Amino acid sequence: MAAITISSSLTSVSPRVFHPHISQNTPTLTLYSRFKPSFSFPSLSFTLRSRRPSLLIVSAVKTLTETELLPISQADSIPADSGVYAVYDSSDELQFVGISRNIAASVSAHVKSVPDLCSSVKVGIVEEPEKAVLTQAWKSWIEEHIKVTGKVPPGNKSGNNTFVKQAPRKKSDIRLTPGRHVELTVPLEELIDRLVKENKVVAFIKGTRSAPLCGFSQRVVGILESQGVDYETMDVLDDEYNHGLREKLKIYSNWPTFPQVFVKGELLGGCDILTSMYENGELSNMLN
């Protein structure tokens, strides 16, 4: 789910003046009424520095006041598109403003974790969204709410984790052997098999979870962290404690590249597959 928190000391921001000429390629914000299950977007910080003219994009975003309030009980009315959303309680008090690659899935996750605070939602859809565009849309709604009420939504205050899914503390990476000069009493293939079958999620990556050594491995770690799932990692480049792992694992999984992610004893795939499943919501459903 998208999670953005800000300090309660944030002051309101004056309305911006937008340029009248908007490119045909500029993403716009629209409203929809359809539902697809999926997952949300990772945390973003409040500070925005974009090289693109994001002010043009925000000019197309409906204000928070103008946006229709949708009952969460009518699940089909909540879209599975990317954009900004605002969660209200049963008293129509704004509790949280977030952004997501899939609003329906993010709202669904909030309903499961804090049902008493989730009664209705306002939704703004950003077509072909980028990180800066989503953040600017979120910022405009936050600023509008602060200008009207003088307050930050409770779920967006710094230190309030009610709507923020916390990732588990990082664990140490697994070493498959005591060292390359120690004779194994169990074949390496059997050690790999035990590892993937005895742990729910195992990621064989280049580098460690704290310091991935390739962009694909970093992406995989980032996705797994965002899911809040307990997972194990193993550095396939560690020739001292995981000697021979890379070649043996290629044979075991019948998969030639790294990283490789296993879920419940079965190979899920590499970075591309994991990213696709993350963006369309399949990964969240599988892990939870």
CA pair distance 163, 109, nearest whole angstrom: 9
CATH number, domain containing residue 117? 3.40.1440.10
Q: Is residue 129 part of a domain?
A: yes
CA pair distance 22, 6, nearest whole angstrom: 30
What is the average pLDDT across 231-243?
A: 95
72-76, 80-84, 264-268: least confidently modelled range: 72-76
Residue 124: pLDDT over 50: yes
What is the average pLDDT across 199-205?
A: 96
The answer on 200 and 137 residing in a single domain is: no
132, 156, 180: which is the final residue of a domain? 156
What is the average pLDDT across 209-221?
A: 93
**pLDDT of the residue at 117:** 95
What is the average pLDDT across 58-81?
A: 82
Residue 2: pLDDT over 60: no
What is the average pLDDT across 70-74?
A: 87
The answer on 193 and 149 residing in a single domain is: no
60-74, 147-161, 251-265: least confidently modelled range: 60-74
The closest alpha carbon to 168, from 229, 220, 110, belongs to 229
Q: Is residue 15 part of a domain?
A: no
Q: Is residue 62 part of a domain?
A: no
Strands (E), the chain: 29-30, 69-71, 83-88, 94-100, 120-126, 201-205, 232-235, 260-263, 266-269
Residue 251: pLDDT over 90: yes
Confidence of residue 115 (pLDDT cuts 50, 70, 90): very high
Is 270:259 a contact under the CB 8 Å cutoff? yes
What is the average pLDDT across 52-65?
A: 59
Confidence of residue 26 (pLDDT cuts 50, 70, 90): very low
138, 156, 174: which is the final residue of a domain? 156
Is 237:176 a contact under the CB 8 Å cutoff? no
The answer on 196 and 272 residing in a single domain is: yes
What percent of the chain is helix, strand and coil (3-state, nearest 5)? 30, 15, 50
Q: Is residue 152 part of a domain?
A: yes
Residue matched to tokens 């230190």:
159
Confidence of residue 59 (pLDDT cuts 50, 70, 90): very low
Tokens of 233: 């990692």
- For the chain, the residue count is 288
Residue 190 vs residue 167, higher pLDDT: 190
Number of structural domains in the chain: 2
| Predicted TM-score of the model (pTM) | 0.45
Residue 17: pLDDT over 90: no
What is the average pLDDT across 255-271?
A: 95
What is the average pLDDT across 79-106?
A: 92
The answer on 208 and 142 residing in a single domain is: no
Residue 225 vs residue 145, higher pLDDT: 145
**pLDDT of the residue at 249:** 95
Q: Is residue 182 part of a domain?
A: no
* Domain range enclosing 273: 188-287
**pLDDT of the residue at 168:** 53
Q: Is residue 36 part of a domain?
A: no
The DSSP line for 62-127 is PPTTTSPEEETT-GGGS--SSEEEEEE-TT--EEEEEEESSHHHHHHHHHHH-GGG-SEEEEEEES
The closest alpha carbon to 230, from 170, 190, 182, belongs to 170
Confidence of residue 266 (pLDDT cuts 50, 70, 90): very high
Residue matched to tokens 């280049």:
206
**pLDDT of the residue at 161:** 87
**pLDDT of the residue at 170:** 65
CA pair distance 271, 218, nearest whole angstrom: 9
Residue matched to tokens 């716009």:
28
CATH number, domain containing residue 258? 3.40.30.10
Instruction: Give CA angle at 65 (20, 32), nearest 5°.
Output: 80
The answer on 219 and 267 residing in a single domain is: yes
242, burial (CB in 10 Å: exposed 0-12, middle 13-18, buried 19+): buried
Residue matched to tokens 């969204």:
129
